[in-house]
Structure 1
């Protein structure tokens, strides 16, 4: 098995679920000792994992399982009660690993009378009859030292004496101890500090021994005297769990209502003060520090305050460092943000009961392998049926990253920008990407990039070895640290221009750090063509791709339906008081909609939103920011732009305020030099417009968008006008012309025709091979001339398909056909080569041969044949038009441009 080092440190476990027996109800509690995991809850039986043979077994609210196999052990305990529903709510193991303590609501264990708290001898799997302190209500939390067992719950008396929600008993006899820490609402969690001197209390309470302290308190371990109170936890939030490590303690919170705190707090053991507060929303049920990482179970759905994922899908299992690396960030709203989430992200679901998902966690070890066990209400793990229990190991990472989505573009000779949306791997956040050019088996480049499930930024690589006028293809793979590799991305192709493309080059030169050209051919990725911004977009609800013609010659546009489609950036960011937004649009809508803007959410409607350009129902344009009130500039009453023509719109903000430009002209300014401060995402095609002046009927835009760009500066009027003018400038056009017919001849079989063969051969001596190809060439577009021409072919997959010899491309001057031409009837060839390639490397890959531009110009608009010949003995084998190989058909790449 791959070792733990294959997982991106400091995460210690894979996200690959292991086969585990599962209960028919809910797991509330978990503990472990000596390679055995104990799970308690509300259930009546356990059954094998899905797809594994075996009969269901009785398991009354408790099961013991082998940590390494996930199978039940011989230990069988039944927790029952005469009236009501018995349940096990908490489990803890003594320091010597000999006794298991169980709390909950039950009256007997295997028939032995108890009162909601029991001690189990682990070796014999039997309840200790002499240990039966009287707890008349549910016990929800337990913590144990060498001689004392602390309990939290709903009780108000123990053994007939007042102990309100927290109590301590002798760990051996169960005798009540003098510890008194009375609280006014239920206790849910209890933990002892590592030095044994203090007890940490968590729950719903507002007072401890009559001192004001909500949800959390620190008391003396012997007496219960209050040591530390807390008043900064919202009143509608409670503590569900507390855990400790050598340097700190950690709390998990749940709440409801406005201003709720659902996240985690890290606190110091030295003085019990707060280190950080993670304010993600989504009911944290359990916190488990392990080797410097805090693992947590929750249903976190909104981590906007942590600058992570916005409100949306639920994330049930998370990991983050227990401490900030280096200096902690400055407080925000009075709280230091929690350490950023790590790349460990198994998935679950809400499941049964309260629909909380995972509720409890434990780390067990057996045979030098460590296992993270998780219990709760879930019924799915990683999309597969699995109820109540699951586990993950420290070894055996077998999950490959998702397949990258790649794109390539070129705006000037000598450079191709290869971009891809980074992949996602549930337990590896740092992945290695390999870029393959022209079908080669050897990567042209290797790039390392980090990503998380909710943050998959664009990565890119510039290929500076390309030649003008030639066409190239690229594919990308992702590999994790264990060596698991994704499939190859879909092929993306690009032709390098023979001259600089003026419009996109100027956008890049003027400093755009987001530039969506909408030339993408695959959903849901929208590539960023800026120089180094890597702020790609995510398409929502499948906008229409490759809409032609675009606003700029040579570019395509994206179509939006006006009801649900948009593109949002995939990286949360903050935007200052100086910026420019720019886009081209075409529409005939009478319902308006947002063209481009900034908001604090992605797929859900943004509560905070401004820095946007939108269209009213009548076709007027509005640009605005929010700085306590909406500040907008709009076009005139009769200046409308829903005429189904391409228009250019730009909004800027800087020290001089905000300005709106349309089609290169200044349409008005306003002295608004500030805007809202929040982190968010750029949107194109739609987002919330609630509360904005002349709000349109629709938040979403119906029409086409092209060339959307964002700049960290305020463009000048001259720059804006230049962009508008450059969009009308002529640009190169590229035509790819595939063979209409091809064949080859073989001197060794002089009468055989190979017109239906899937490959073509070239060899000069020995048994002579020559290949022939026919193309229907287009005429040059009006006002343009041929600037470059290249023949492109792909070597086949057979051994030694490449050649060490020079291969020449020559005109075919005689007649031939695929159906009848053989060596005996081969056509005549021209003497002057149109181009040559000096050796073709072994391995199946695409190759380009530059052709004589003047010679090809002379035959434009006609049917034209080319032959491949060589003088050596090393044969070249390439795919023919009959091959089904990707990128296999021979083709001409023709670039036309202005005279």
Structure 2
């Protein structure tokens, strides 16, 4: 598995291209990615072996790949035909095409394989190790030396290794080997050996190990050699999986005893600041991650992610690794779930290292570089080996292994990524908008994901404008996409606003616009949500979302949004709160919402939700657990319902501590109920419908990081466990607080839920048309656009079915909204007036000649409309509109100038195109 990791000097005479019929792959102009990541995540076309790549090395713009395969084929859709490649292929680093160098590694008995490649320091010799008996017919014994310039094996170099060689490392004069052998040239050398780099003669280096050697690395000063493998003993010294020995004699200079017995070291690499190991194991308590060692060989940090690390490659301060990491909970990163095959993290902590956890300093966090792969063939490991090569001032990260997919596309055993040419745009944001008081609208969105940019720039567009009203930067990773937000403080009460958001990466690649989300700003404070925010909620899910899977966090600054799992039902009504708020429905078998921000929760907190159900199977309403999409193994801080409809609230502080409603106090009556659980210095308390139901003096908490869940998660082992872990019913207004709410606050929330609130009606035009003085007999009822001008005259007419005022409410505000078209000059410098239509008209039959009469008293006016397609609003006179509520009503648009206004009609398909009235009703 060894290979040259540094970028060596170019060969005096590099290998010539093979003329395979594929031209040079031109890289786009250099583009930025989020530092310190050095490579894009966009895979490049690369020839594909028909087996497994185990080994890789590079020099002078050529990449050598070895493994177990018989041929290579062009990438999908490329010209060329299959070429024979017997366990070895040399490729141009910049094009991914085979070169003219052809080597066949064969054996007479068994299956030949190349397991390790390394290039000499002068760039002239390629050393190969594995299990083979000949190279291009030249007899060898599992180790070979290849003259790179001529692409021929050196017949004079043939040290006898009678078993598989798994790793090589080379100095100016010595080749070190690790593997399964017990002797070299008949001399005892158990699993590790050194031979003369020129002649192959066995050197006096003795580092005998009791189990296979898998990795070997020379120290930066050349005085020591790091050994990795399965062993428990080297030269009689007890040391498992890792050891440091003298480079000349093999005498043990440092041992290691803190790698679990069921784990091995698969790879060792080095940079100027230290050494790194990749580890693999099996069974319980396994160590599958990475270790960072200082130049003194002492451990700096340990990455305890689970998932069989095969390879580690430090480059420009970043450690790239290949594995199938599926659980980084111990590193406070992603929980157990899908496999992540290619990862990047800093080689060392910036600033002071964190305090040890379980005796180990946690590793540097993962960076935003995340190409995807799959398990593939063979052992189903995925990527196995990496190498960095440079050609024409572009650096390429090559990856080999047994994968068959890269970034979801067919690509077997080999792929590569460049230091430039980032062309992948971030995913499209999913947005939400809400408003709980006049003068402010909250725009929220789930951050996007970009495979090679963790810091993205978001632009917020209002009312269809082509110019953003806000620019926000936020960080996200594939497994952590927290909410970002922006507050619009320029909005007016009673008017409706729509928002769309884009995400742009460091290279300028921009996502599509998010779907438009709209909000009408209330004319008075919405009492309940305003109080939840004022009382300090740092998670507030209102369940008014319109698309999956995003659940917006409406707290003032929490940004702890949720992710819908298995598609719970959206916008169920009526919700628990008076007004237009909606609820979310859960099926009781698989659906839930989990937070997308990993966090820890202290011993002071409150959980709150409204629920409605008639279930007899119980289920979890809200709780905290250490996993997100999968069932949690650690879980508490939860409210759950029993089969009979009782409510339990509990925490874990060494054991489960619960309180509950009374034996006959049940709440599965298909009515809305309010439940709150709190913990503070005084213990835990349960409230239902504003009343205290039970309490306990239990304080303290079990410390762990996790995610909030609503609608379901594990309940195993908790008292009076219901039949189902999942809740069947509706949830609304779920909130979490970092404080223990008081009984007064809880009762206030319960009472405010029924407080009067504004009712908003958005009424689209049922019919519209315009007339044109220049074409007096033409009807425009089917036109997708409408026009207004004084001379030569255009007039527009709009008809609406106005709702009656809700009982006990009056019209508090009204506005007409329209959107200018995309044609040049659609705006106007003139004042446009909205007036009643007093005559009769129809869309299909009205022309300038038959146009209706208009009233003389304006309902409202707008003094000019800017160019550029955007939504505009005209405030209307509520006194004039109140008498016509509940009727069919028409308004006209007219002006006195010569500059026309062009707007979309109700027939247009553009987003937010249809003209509409926004009517806000409130208490008298």
TM norm structure 2: 0.97
Alignment of 1:192 with 2:218, yes or no, is yes
Within 5 Å, give how 1:104-115 maps onto structure 2.
Answer: 104-115=130-141
Q: Deviations over 1:735-766 (max 9, x none)?
A: 0111111111111111222111111110112x
2:849 alignment partner, one of 800, 815, 824: 824
SS at match of 1:343: coil
- Residue equivalent to 1:292: 317
Q: Is the 8 A contact 2:832 2:862 kept in 1?
A: yes
Aligned equivalents of 1:836 and 1:714: distance in 2? 51
1:574, distance to aligned residue in structure 2 (A): 0.3
Q: Is the 8 A contact 1:94 1:144 kept in 2?
A: yes
Q: Is the 8 A contact 1:21 1:46 kept in 2?
A: yes
Query: Which structure 2 segments of 5+ residues have no match?
Result: 1-26
1:770 alignment partner, one of 783, 787, 795: 795
1:545 alignment partner, one of 570, 578, 581: 570
2:501 alignment partner, one of 450, 473, 476: 476
SS at match of 2:384: strand
Q: Is the 8 A contact 1:35 1:364 kept in 2?
A: yes
1:14 alignment partner, one of 34, 40, 47: 40
2:586 alignment partner, one of 538, 551, 560: 560
- Residue equivalent to 1:585: 611
Within 5 Å, give how 1:123-522 maps onto structure 2.
Answer: 123-269=149-295, 271-522=296-547
Within 5 Å, give how 1:531-542 maps onto structure 2.
Answer: 531-542=556-567
1:419, distance to aligned residue in structure 2 (A): 0.3
1:533, distance to aligned residue in structure 2 (A): 0.5
Aligned equivalents of 1:751 and 1:121: distance in 2? 89
1:366, distance to aligned residue in structure 2 (A): 0.5
1:627, distance to aligned residue in structure 2 (A): 1.2
1:829, distance to aligned residue in structure 2 (A): 1.2
1:4, distance to aligned residue in structure 2 (A): 5.5
SS at match of 1:505: helix
SS at match of 1:721: helix
Alignment of 1:743 with 2:772, yes or no, is no
- Residue equivalent to 2:148: 122
Aligned equivalents of 1:819 and 1:668: distance in 2? 68
Q: Is the 8 A contact 1:115 1:132 kept in 2?
A: yes
Q: Is the 8 A contact 1:809 1:834 kept in 2?
A: yes
Alignment of 1:64 with 2:90, yes or no, is yes
- Residue equivalent to 2:553: 528
Aligned equivalents of 1:140 and 1:236: distance in 2? 20
1:666 alignment partner, one of 674, 683, 692: 692
1:327, distance to aligned residue in structure 2 (A): 0.6
1:528, distance to aligned residue in structure 2 (A): 0.2
Aligned equivalents of 2:192 and 2:783: distance in 1? 84
Q: Is the 8 A contact 2:31 2:422 kept in 1?
A: no
Q: Is the 8 A contact 1:3 1:394 kept in 2?
A: no
RMSD: 0.7
Alignment of 1:36 with 2:62, yes or no, is yes
1:613, distance to aligned residue in structure 2 (A): 0.3
Aligned equivalents of 1:698 and 1:749: distance in 2? 70
Q: Displaced runs of 4+ in structure 1, greater than 2 A?
A: 1-5
Q: Is the 8 A contact 2:214 2:267 kept in 1?
A: yes
Q: Is the 8 A contact 1:762 1:870 kept in 2?
A: yes
- Residue equivalent to 1:709: 735
Q: Is the 8 A contact 2:811 2:878 kept in 1?
A: yes
Aligned equivalents of 1:183 and 1:248: distance in 2? 24
SS at match of 2:621: strand
2:917 alignment partner, one of 879, 892, 898: 892
Aligned equivalents of 2:354 and 2:77: distance in 1? 48
1:53, distance to aligned residue in structure 2 (A): 2.5
SS at match of 2:330: helix
Q: Deviations over 1:65-109 (max 9, x none)?
A: 000000000100010110000000000000000000000001110
Q: Deviations over 1:200-235 (max 9, x none)?
A: 000000111111111001111001111110001111
TM norm structure 1: 0.99
1:871, distance to aligned residue in structure 2 (A): 1.1
SS at match of 1:446: strand
Q: Deviations over 1:11-34 (max 9, x none)?
A: 000000000000000000000011
Aligned equivalents of 2:467 and 2:41: distance in 1? 30
Q: Is the 8 A contact 2:31 2:421 kept in 1?
A: no
SS at match of 2:261: coil
Within 5 Å, give how 1:77-88 maps onto structure 2.
Answer: 77-88=103-114
1:3, distance to aligned residue in structure 2 (A): 5.7
1:656 alignment partner, one of 678, 682, 686: 682
Q: Deviations over 1:303-360 (max 9, x none)?
A: 0111111000000000000010111011111111100111100000000111000000
Aligned equivalents of 2:116 and 2:684: distance in 1? 60
1:797, distance to aligned residue in structure 2 (A): 1.1
Query: Which structure 1 segments of 5+ residues have no match?
Result: none
- Residue equivalent to 2:22: none
- Residue equivalent to 2:662: 636
Q: Deviations over 1:41-73 (max 9, x none)?
A: 000110011111221111110000000000000
1:818, distance to aligned residue in structure 2 (A): 1.3
Aligned equivalents of 1:329 and 1:443: distance in 2? 40
Q: Deviations over 1:116-136 (max 9, x none)?
A: 000000000000000000100
Alignment of 1:607 with 2:636, yes or no, is no
- Residue equivalent to 2:748: 722
SS at match of 1:722: helix
- Residue equivalent to 1:53: 79
Aligned equivalents of 2:598 and 2:72: distance in 1? 44
Aligned equivalents of 2:131 and 2:39: distance in 1? 33
Aligned equivalents of 1:5 and 1:20: distance in 2? 21
Q: Is the 8 A contact 1:4 1:13 kept in 2?
A: no
SS at match of 1:724: helix
1:5, distance to aligned residue in structure 2 (A): 5.4
Q: Deviations over 1:853-873 (max 9, x none)?
A: 111111101111101011111
